[in-house]
Structure 1
Amino acid sequence: MRRRDFLAISVAAAACTGARDVEPHNRFPTGARERLSVSTYPFRKLIISRRNVTGRMTLKQFAETVKPKLNVPGIEPWSHHFESTGPDYVRGLGEHFEQAGLHVVNIPVDMPAKLCGTSEERTAALAMYREWVDAAVILKSPSIRVHLPRGENPGSIACSVSALRELAAYGASKNIVINVENDVPTIEQPERIVEIIKAVNSPFLRALPDFCNSMLVHNDHEYNYRAMDMLFPLAFNISHVKDEESGDHGEVYRVDVNRIFGIAGKTGYRGYFSMEWEGQGDDPYEGCRQLIEASLHNLESDVPAR
């Protein structure tokens, strides 16, 4: 097909979709190791941030350690590890990642935001998130991760749907997916995430399944696995791999990583897996190495769901 004919067909197809968002256009690798990434969150005691001014290294310096110590090509930089969202800084950061042999798979944004606050607070929150979408464009990241809003009446999702629909529309204009994670157990239960994503009905609002976080909701392994069954069909590009998580009072929750990889495979998920080690011990590099080995074992053997 000639390029001119292809463009004509594409324009016609876009017109037929009306108000519906087009699908995100991203290609993901198929090799096991190429699908792996490391989150900078497990290294928050080592990396300098607004919360940790006494850290030993900058985000750029950490990036230089990823290939030699972990041998994965992906990095998932946490928002608190950025010095700025200014274009010049972000552009320089992206160049540094490329020089280190890394590409960005997602940006978890944990900045204060009141999408369900006053009109002024909502406007400010959306403006802040748009800055991170723009940063994702510069870094060639396929997505950012945001939190579901607080402050609604119990059981109501109207405000969340309205705010996230607006944010997803901005993401769609930049080909950046907005991910929602089963993270905060009091507001980001998997059922609520699914309900909101389906209500927004945009291919640019997707789920980010975290392997272990839903253990914090009910301390129930079967519930956690059902959460994965709910979220992986709605995931696009990113999932967080961990084998354990700690509660607020010292509890330790563990999950069967092999079983969850089986669920991901059963649902046809083809995106990245990012190591977000939260285990016992003081060496996040070693913890992430163990998760990487478990991930490779599953991806290379294509373990079926049990």
Structure 2
Amino acid sequence: MKTRRTFLKQAAMGATAISLPSVSAFGNPLLLNSTEMKEPKISLAQWSLHRALEEGNVLAIDFASISKNSYGIDAVEYVNQFYVDHATDEGFWNTMKERAHDSGVKSLLIMVDNEGDLGNPKEDERKKAVENHYKWIHAAKILGCHSIRVNAFGQGTKTELKQPLISGLGALAEYGAMENINVLIENHGLHTSDGKYMTDIIKAVGNPYLGTLPDFGNWCLNKEWGSTQNNMCDQVYDRYQGLTDFLPYAKGVSAKSYHFDVAGNETIMDYSRLLQKVKDSGFDGYIGIEFEGETISEPEGIRATKALIEKVWKELE
């Protein structure tokens, strides 16, 4: 299986190239007195096309137009690893902004990986990791995004990591606030998939620019990246509880999918139960498709996930 870890290692060696109100520490204002979404707002996460991008079958610079023209999806979530050579190139990001605008596509966020541990117990290395994220905040601002998504990793026990995480995430959220860009934590394995632990960190930071991007699938507690594909993880945080934990701070939702049965249902995750929680919370942001399966093609997986979200949403109470 091609994992994000494998891809990041390749990216680090130079293999990749391109060919709203804020969250409150006491809850998300978007969830308060909001009108119920009659139709789900759907976005496309770029990782859904990672195989095609890695193989050079599609170009990262064309992502917005591909989303709109191939899938009828008019909002996108970028992955920084497909743009590492252009991270600080303002001209490039202005071009990307124009391309999205011309395609009628809204840029929502940049998913940031491989920029150091924001919970590193060593202060100098943690500071460097925080500063490594600045360029992606700048890129997100040019694109018109509302957020960047980060990983809250670090070495040590949960007790040992608590203060470093509060420090690192807090510092980055302060910088994001200056640029009006939110910093979102995704459940990505290990302690980051412990919903209560991570929301306690958010509360301790107390910065309205620090929030969450809950992912339906990444709840494995003993593996980095947290994938639960093929039910291979033997220590899983209850995904329905995790979603409940994260939703009050959510600025987006990541609808992970792996495999579908003949009726079009995801075989590991109960989308009806998950989307009911999203709807009941009053969340009115975008639900991002992040297909990560291997038994069907990426285009088939994207379309199957979109169809499932739309079908289930109509059936919700």
Smaller-chain TM-score range? 0.7 to 0.9
Report if the CA contact (8 A) 1:60-1:93 is conserved: yes
User: Pick from 229, 232, 244: which aligns with 1:229?
Assistant: 244
Which residue of structure 1 lines up, in the alignment, with residue 39 of structure 2?
32
Distance 1:129 1:67 in 2: 28
Distance 1:106 1:31 in 2: 23
Q: Deviations over 1:249-285 (max 9, x none)?
A: xxx9711011100011111111110000122324111
User: 1:101 aligns to what SS in structure 2?
Assistant: coil
Report if the CA contact (8 A) 1:106-1:238 is conserved: no
Does residue 128 of structure 2 align to residue 128 of structure 1?
A: no
Instruction: With the length of structure 1 as denominator, give the TM-score of the two structures.
Output: 0.79
Distance 1:188 1:226, change over 3 A: closer
Distance 1:216 1:126, change over 3 A: closer
Which residue of structure 2 lines up, in the alignment, with residue 8 of structure 1?
none
Amino acid at match of 1:97: A
Q: How much does 1:178 deviate?
A: 0.5
Q: Which runs of 5+ in 2 are unaligned?
A: 1-24, 223-232, 260-265
Amino acid at match of 2:240: Y
Which residue of structure 2 lines up, in the alignment, with residue 15 of structure 1?
none
Which residue of structure 2 lines up, in the alignment, with residue 182 of structure 1?
187
Which one scores higher on RCO, CA 8 angstroms, separation ≥ 6? Answer: 2
Runs of at least 4 residues of structure 1 off by over 6 A?
none
Which residue of structure 1 lines up, in the alignment, with residue 112 of structure 2?
109
What is the RMSD computed on CA atoms of the aligned residues? 2.9
Which residue of structure 1 lines up, in the alignment, with residue 12 of structure 2?
none
Distance 1:254 1:111 in 2: 28
User: 1:93 aligns to what SS in structure 2?
Assistant: helix
Q: Deviations over 1:82-132 (max 9, x none)?
A: 141221111111111112221111111012313325343223212211111
Distance 2:273 2:286 in 1: 17
Structure number with larger C-alpha Rg: 1
User: Pick from 81, 94, 97: which aligns with 1:94?
Assistant: 97
User: 2:216 aligns to what SS in structure 1?
Assistant: coil
Does residue 289 of structure 2 align to residue 279 of structure 1?
A: no
Distance 1:254 1:300, change over 3 A: same
Distance 1:296 1:270 in 2: 15
Amino acid at match of 2:256: K
Q: How much does 1:300 deviate?
A: 4.1
Does residue 47 of structure 2 align to residue 46 of structure 1?
A: no
Which residue of structure 2 lines up, in the alignment, with residue 242 of structure 1?
256
Q: Deviations over 1:43-65 (max 9, x none)?
A: 11111xxxx3x422221223322
Amino acid at match of 2:97: G
User: Pick from 268, 276, 295: which aligns with 2:282?
Assistant: 268
Distance 1:31 1:139 in 2: 28
Which residue of structure 1 lines up, in the alignment, with residue 304 of structure 2?
290
Report if the CA contact (8 A) 1:24-1:177 is conserved: no
Q: How much does 1:184 deviate?
A: 2.0
Report if the CA contact (8 A) 1:24-1:175 is conserved: no
How many residue pairs align between the two structures? Answer: 269
Which residue of structure 2 lines up, in the alignment, with residue 81 of structure 1?
82
Distance 1:275 1:128, change over 3 A: same
Distance 2:268 2:275 in 1: 15
Distance 1:222 1:151, change over 3 A: closer
Distance 1:222 1:108, change over 3 A: closer
Q: Which runs of 5+ in 1 are unaligned?
A: 1-19, 246-251
Distance 2:138 2:29 in 1: 16
Instruction: With the length of structure 2 as denominator, give the TM-score of the two structures.
Output: 0.76
Q: Deviations over 1:163-196 (max 9, x none)?
A: 1111111111111111001112354422221111
User: Pick from 127, 130, 140: which aligns with 2:144?
Assistant: 140
Q: Which piece of structure 1 moves more, 90-99 or 256-265?
A: 90-99
User: 1:276 aligns to what SS in structure 2?
Assistant: strand
Which residue of structure 2 lines up, in the alignment, with residue 71 of structure 1?
72
Report if the CA contact (8 A) 2:158-2:191 is conserved: no
Distance 2:101 2:35 in 1: 17
